[in-house]
Amino acid sequence: MTVVTRFAPSPTGRVHVGNLRTALHNWLFARQQGGRFLLRIDDTDRERSEERFVVAIRADLGWLGLDWDGEARQSERFGLYKERFAALREAGRVYPCFETPQELELKRKVQLGRGLPPVYDRAALKLGEADRARLEAEGQRPHWRFKLDHDTAIEWDDLIRGPHRFDPKLLSDPVIRRANGSWLYHLPSVIDDIDMGVTHVVRGEDHVSNTAAQVQMFEALGAPPPAFAHEALLTGAEGKLSKRLGATDVDHWRETGNEPLALAAKLARIGTSLSVEPVASMAPLVERFDFATFGRAPARFDEAELAKLNAQTVHLLSFEQVAERLPAGMDARAWEVVRPNLERVADAADWWHVIEGPVAPEVVGEDRDYLRAAAETAARIDWAADPWHALTGALKEITGRKGKPLFLPLRCALTGRDHGPDMAALLPLIGRERAVARLEAAASPLP
């Protein structure tokens, strides 16, 4: 069996971090199993769906590093839905209902007031042909429900949550088509999963009750249900579902300098027994993906932890992976020198400025004579091998300084900072001419 997974966003808005996590898990499993990952645009809601969101969905998945093996749009498949709907109607598995939203809400309140579950009472099934004709003649158009089989328990073995069992009598027959003829989520999704050969459906645990109804839809359409994996939802660092996370689109993560690999590493592992670790490619995430490691507790997403992971990820990136984002003139040697001090790739520009200059050193008065000696020494040492150790070794003998008093004034004069990359690696990039000039400038008396 070829594994086929899918990501099925609705283009009514931008995808957020929870959506990305679902897409990533579907992609990881498909790639691990040598299968296919499909993108399905669930655009049955014509009023709210916008083409700009379709474009954004593709771009956001691409930014995260996810490719897909096929794409479909539900708005182009209405003919298929009508055909399957007609077959279900002929088999008595869908039926028309004429209650208004207000009437249904009243029924719901009455049931809740009596301590009963708010399950649809199937009153529409008691209408005869004459009743339905009369209501339609009065201008009422029906919505349509799928008729659950009350005699058969709904069961499946979830890949994350384990065995599930639902009593269909405790579920409302789901509405599958509105009075205006438009489709709701349930039936088109099932029809598409069958038609596209989807073998595994990975989605959030908020879909569990949907799955219960859809299991019977698969069976009514003569197809075995796919395997289901319902993952715990994300929560924020504050320990509850974060509305901000739910409203944050990919632009936020991109604009704040987060690497897609860092976000992927975070989303691939949070909520599992595997440790969240930086990666230089998707390969380790694909290799170790396993539904058996997923827990049922809410998955905690902490942006502060992501920031640390992002810095660790940057430290793994090769020059080839970042070359297009580096300042003009910065080569692989310079990247490798400054990389350990970066939190974001964009920060490399700051260190390239330190190398290229000019810099504004902060020098205390008592160090000026020392830096004058450093400038003279730097002008005569051999720069071909290891100029930093040649310079500091000579200055140690000349001045008797050692430790911080020996090294820190030099760093401040040469870079304008009191911290940064290893000076033994940085000084050759600064070069003899710039280094001598900076030391001389730092040693000069203030005007």
Q: Write out pLDDT tens, residues 355-387.
A: 999 999 877 788 999 999 999 999 999 999 999
SS3 for 435? helix
Distance CA 395, CA 3 (A): 67
What whole-number percentage of the chain has pLDDT above 70?
97
DSSP states of 364-391 as a string?
-GGGHHHHHHHHHHHHHS--SS-HHHHH
Inter-residue contact 202 to 23 (CB < 8 Å): no
141 and 172 both lie in a single domain: yes
Q: How confident is the model at residue 260 (pLDDT cuts 50, 70, 90)?
A: very high
Residue 109 assigned as binding residue: no
State the Cα–Cα distance between residues 306 and 253, nearest whole angstrom. 10
Give the residue numbers spanning the domain of 345: 319-354
Cα–Cα distance, 439 to 370 (Å, whole number): 10
pLDDT band at 249 (very low <50, low <70, confident <90, very high): confident
Residues 152 and 199 in one domain: no
On whether both 38 and 17 belong to a single domain, the answer is yes
Instruction: Note whether 343 and 418 are same-domain residues.
Output: no
Question: Which pLDDT tens digit goes with each residue over 266-293?
Answer: 999 999 999 999 999 999 999 999 999 9
Taking 70 as the threshold, does the pLDDT of residue 241 lie above it?
A: no
Q: Is residue 184 one of the residues assigned to a domain?
A: no
Q: What is the CATH number of the domain that holds 257?
A: 1.10.1160.10
* Domain identity same for 307 and 439: no
Residue 390 lies in a domain: yes
Q: Which residues are paired to 411 by β-bridges?
A: none
Q: How many domains, in total, are found in the chain?
A: 5
Domain for residue 56, yes or no? yes
Euclidean distance between CA atoms 20 and 248, whole angstroms: 11
Span 302-314, mean pLDDT? 95
Residue 330 lies in a domain: yes
pTM (two decimals): 0.91
| Pair of tokens at residue 79 | 């003919």
Residues 6+ apart with CB under 8 A from 395: 370, 373, 374, 377, 401, 406, 410
- Does the pLDDT value for residue 244 go beyond 70? no
